[in-house]
Amino acid sequence: MSAGALAAADRQQPQSLTRVFAELQRDGLISRTRDTRDGRQQVLAITQAGDEALDRDMAQRDAWLDIALADLNETERQVLLLAARLMDRLADSPAVLPGS
């Protein structure tokens, strides 16, 4: 994916992610190659080390969430489930501001 496409997917400006991408590349977590269709652009790809780091991070987050959820009672879990459904609906709603 290009840096611009990745930034757009995250609703960021590509310039604001320049330093982040440089650090990820420096740490060997992503690679950059020239786009074969448009030589002016670079394509970012996660490396094997990046994929492994992502897997470790996700496992740590999942372990934390499992522990945190274990402390909730059934009513609290149901409230979270309802909140998650509402957040999904909000995320799927059109992002048009009044007067735009």
Please report, rounded to a whole number, the percentage of residues in the chain having pLDDT higher than 70: 94
In a domain, 16, yes or no: yes
Residue 7 lies in a domain: yes
- Sign for the CA dihedral angle at 44, 45, 49, 55 comes to positive
Task: Read off the CATH number of the domain in which 44 is found.
Answer: 1.10.10.10
Q: Could you list the residue range(s) of the whole structural domain that residue 75 is in?
A: 3-92
Per-residue pLDDT tens for 74-85? 999 999 999 999
Domain contains 97: no
Tell me whether residue 19 is in a domain. yes
Nearest C-alpha neighbor of 18 from the set 49, 51, 42:
42
Residue 53 lies in a domain: yes
Q: Where are the beta strands (DSSP E) in the chain?
A: 30-34, 42-46
> Residue 99: pLDDT above 70?
no
Total domains, the chain: 1
pTM of the model: 0.67
Residue 24 within a domain = yes
CA distances from 64 to 21, 70, 78, 98 (A): 27, 10, 19, 39
Model confidence over 14-59: pLDDT tens digits?
788 889 999 999 999 999 988 788 777 888 999 999 999 999 999 9
Can you give the pLDDT at residue 74?
95
- The reply to whether 86 falls in a domain is yes
Domain-embedded: residue 99? no
pLDDT of 97 > 80? The answer is no
Q: What are φ and ψ of residue 81, in 5° steps?
A: -60, -45
